[in-house]
Structures are given as structure tokens and as C-alpha cells.
Amino acid sequence: MNQDLLGRVALITGAGAGIGKETALQMAARGATVCVNDLKEELVTPVVDEITARGGKAFAIVQNIASREGIRDAIRRSFELGGRFDILVNNAAWVRYQAIPEIAPETVDRMLDVGFKSVIWSLQEAVAVMDPERGGSIVNVASVAALRSAANSVVYSGIKAAILGITRAAAAELGAHNIRVNAVCPSAVPTEGTQRNRNAERDANRIARTPLGRLGTVEDIARSICFLASDDAGFITAQALTVDGGITLTNI
């Protein structure tokens, strides 16, 4: 793997499993110092250990990023541990699918805290610690649910659509600070976190409607995130990169 992120310091939220973990592994393999964030030490430590065993460099950031103080602390600690701060991947999410009559205030509050508010607070701290001469890259993990929605996904689809709005507005404002802001929109990707919402029949139906004939993988999404974070995407900002095998734009 190339070393296109050599010397960069990155924070990836929700990196104890799934897309976040794979992104941490790939960024470290590309030369970045990776700050691995999640809620619990038992989630973070194995990822840090795996990166270290592969010859990479990583730090554990055990922190609940669902508050302004939490995400700002995670970014600040990443800056202090790495000596600089270049890449932020807002990947953490807490997801529940519910029919409209069943949506509870506590569900909405937690999903907003993790998936929406933390992104806003992260922008504030990123501006404070990213060097305007070197610039920086922020990648927000959205979803194809921001573009096409299913039943029982009012809160999730609303938040992911809002992430695309945040991405565009932040890119417009932070370009003056030499900070690029983009989003990735994965389709259904098998992970530990999505297992409860998947079944064989649904997967088979999705595969049948996907031009590339398979489900996406965490590796697919992580490669896209690494691309947007790298200098190869140096003139790309305010974009939402749909990584879905073509299913979103080829089904009517």
C-alpha cells in the first residue's frame, strides 16, 4: 500500500469496529498516525494493538463523543499526542430504526447527539487545531439513506441528509482555512453494527438490484475515505461520494 498519508495525524470516531476500524487500519498502513476513538477501552485497544503489530503508529482515545466536551477533548488529545492534526473522520453513529408512532424522545436525542451534534462541535475544534498552512481534511460518513429512504428510517435518514448539508456549508466556510470537507455515502455494508437490520432475503434483493452484483465491504468504504483524506483529492471539497455499487442511481 502506498504511503500517501505519511506524517499525517488522523482521528477516527467510532473506530472500534466496522467501517471505522477498517479506516483506521488502512490509514495507518498509508503512513498516518491514527487516533482510534470509541466508547470503551476493550473496543479501542485491539485496534491500536493490530496497527502496532503491523508496524503502524496509533493512539487510543477512549471518549464519548456524543457531547461538545467529548468530541473536543478527543480532537485536542489527538493533536497533543500526534503533535499536529490533519484528518478527521466523523464516523461514529448510534442507529435505531422505528416506525413513526414508536419513535421515542430518548432515541431521537441520542441519535442526534452522536450523529449530528458531534459533527458540528468537531468542526469548531478542528478549525482551532488544524494548521492553515498545511490544511486539513474532514470526511463525514453519511449514507445513501440521505438520498433514498426506506420505511422506519425517519430519524436516521433525516440525520444523514443533514450531514450532507453540514458538509456543503462547512466546505464553503472552511476553504478559507485550507480545510476540505467531504462526505461518503455507503450503501448497506455488512458490519457488526448493521447485523440487526439485515437478513439473507433483504441482502439477496439488494444484490440483485446492484449493478456490480455484490454488497459493499468495509474495505470499499475505507478506501474511499482514505482517498478523500489524501492529496489525490486535494481539489475536492463539498462533495458527497456515493459508494454503493451503483444501486442508488440505477433503480427507478
- CA 229-231-235 angle, 5° bins: 95
CA 95 to the chain's CA centroid: 14
Tell how strand 87-90 and strand 9-12 pair up: parallel
Three-class secondary structure of residue 179 per DSSP: strand
Under a CB-based contact definition with an 8 Å cutoff, are residues 27 and 229 in contact?
yes
- Please say whether the beta carbons of 85 and 11 come within 8 A: yes
Catalytic residue among 85, 97, 121, 156: 156
In whole angstroms, what is the distance from residue 85 CA to residue 90 CA? 14
Distance CA 87, CA 236 (A): 15
Active site residue 97: no
Instruction: Determine the angle formed by the axes of helices 118-129 and 68-82, rounding to 10 degrees.
Output: 30
**Residue type, position 104, single letter:** A
Could you list the active site residues?
156
